[in-house]
Copies of this chain bind each other. A is one copy, B any other.
Amino acid sequence: MHVTIEKAEAAIQQAIAKAKELNTYMCIAVVDSGADLKAFYRMDDAWVGSIDISIKKAKTAVFFGMPTGEIGKLSQPGGPLFGIEHSNGGLITFPGGLPIVDADGVMMGAIGVSGSSVDNDHAVATAGMKALGTADLPDHPWRT
């Protein structure tokens, strides 16, 4: 089940509203359950470097069906996934990317946000995600 463009836009609108509330300037990306870009929005004055980071956060969240920050906990030096960022053309494993899961437990895609502190990035991604569902996948089997 892929996110529709209508839903992707709804998520982005909620993310923008939260970004403005926080006085931040964000790049916001939504990918579908195949990790392919569905919609992207760069607010004026957002960092140019955040374009790629927001897209990579969204992809990373779909690649493994979990928040990017969870992967980052495991990829530290000495951790079980150290260096995983080298895969898949480059991952971003700090907070700001969240899977988007519907009421049936199906992952429809993910949202990635970059442009401020990771706390703000995460808050804006959360606002976008909540417009559509949850970030929590059920135990396997889950489908995309």
Residues of A within 8 A of B (CB): 2, 4-5, 23, 25, 32-45, 47-53, 56, 60, 62-65, 72, 75-78, 80-95, 117-118, 140-144
Contacts of A86 in B (CB 8 A): 56, 85-86, 90-92
Q: A82 with B72: in contact, given A34-B48, A42-B38 (CB under 8 Å)?
A: yes
Closest B-chain residue to A77, C-beta based?
B77
Q: How many copies does the complex hold?
A: 4
Closest B-chain residue to A29, C-beta based?
B40
Q: Whole-angstrom distance from the CB of A134 to the nearest CB of chain B?
A: 18
Contacts of A42 in B (CB 8 A): 5, 36-39
Give complex CA distance A51, B87 in Å.
9
Would B41 and A39 count as touching, CB distance under 8 A? yes
Would A52 and B85 count as touching, CB distance under 8 A? no
Give complex CA distance A111, B33 in Å.
20
Would A88 and B142 count as touching, CB distance under 8 A? no
Q: A83 with B93: in contact, given A34-B33, A35-B48, A48-B35 (CB under 8 Å)?
A: yes
Would A63 and B37 count as touching, CB distance under 8 A? no
